[in-house]
Amino acid sequence: MKEILVTGAAGFIGASTVNVLSEQGITVVGVDNMNDYYDVQLKEYRLSILEKNKNFRFYREDIEDIQSIRSVFKKHSFDAVINLAARAGVRYSQENPFVYMTTNAMGTLNLLELMREFSVKKIVLASTSSLYAGQPLPFSENLDVSTPISPYAATKKAAEVMAYTYHYLYGIDVSICRYFTVYGPAGRPDMSPFRFIKWVYEGTPITLYGDGTQSRDFTYIEDIANGTVAALQPVGYEIFNLGCADSPVTLNKMIEMIENYTGKKACIDYQPVQKSDMTETMADITKAKKILHWQPRINFEIGLKESVDWYLKNAEWASKIKV
């Protein structure tokens, strides 16, 4: 592949995916609306690094606006689209479900329609492990995910189904990547690894929903980016779990590790469990190993240490990021 469109290019997964593609000599066109769902400083930080790459071109556009995205398609000849633009976050989706629907569902539809119009035959679509709520562990791709428990998960499911329709009707090749709790340096400040590191570092009480025994299949950002790029291969229509597939890590354990890495003691403000939160996640990645020849390489101890080290190195400005 010579030229690929990556939406959400200034996002956490987007920026890392652009780097992987660029290292392979692929020209990347990035699109991002730079919205303020979380502190734009982080997106600008990632974008400033990406723009040093001569094989990267950036457009500040919104996938919800089909006409503006059509203008990007007219200027380029894409071999594939990697759609990482999304409204993320389970809890906020309950406060503003409409923006989740317009971005995650309608935005994906806009891209699929433009792919049909401009004869682009491959899409990699970001989805979520949140779809597996209530299902038995480990989560495998053949489980029933027809009962999402948050607007976020529901809109991601809508995007998956629409992608299947365009595969069936127009022959678009679709790889859906269901990500499991992605973390790493310069990560999203609305997610627990960044927030907990920041709060422990500055001595602010950690807001913890539940008793901390809930666990997550934390997956390092570089592993996720490599899996996303691996999913560019032709598969027809397939769904892939991208997770660490190791023993899930409890929030209590993560806090303990952050205390060790920072040398500071955490103060915890316990709050009631949120109804839309999952108790535990764990990926079955057998399919990704077999078809994509992908598996994670960074364990949580190393990945969290890298995340803490990045924060400490950039604390002068990172400590000012709103969470």
Closest by CA position to 188, among listed 3, 19, 10: 10
Cβ(312)–Cβ(201) under 8 Å? yes
Rounded to whole angstroms, the Cα distance separating 138 from 107 reads 30
Choice among 59, 92, 132, 152 that is catalytic: 152
- Provide the token pair at 192: 């627990």
| Whether residue 152 lies in the annotated active site | yes
Rounded to whole angstroms, the Cα distance separating 5 from 3 reads 7
Rounded to whole angstroms, the Cα distance separating 177 from 191 reads 19
| DSSP state letter for 220 | E
Rounded to whole angstroms, the Cα distance separating 172 from 4 reads 15
CA distances from 126 to 84, 180, 197 (A): 6, 11, 26
Which residues are identified as catalytic? 152
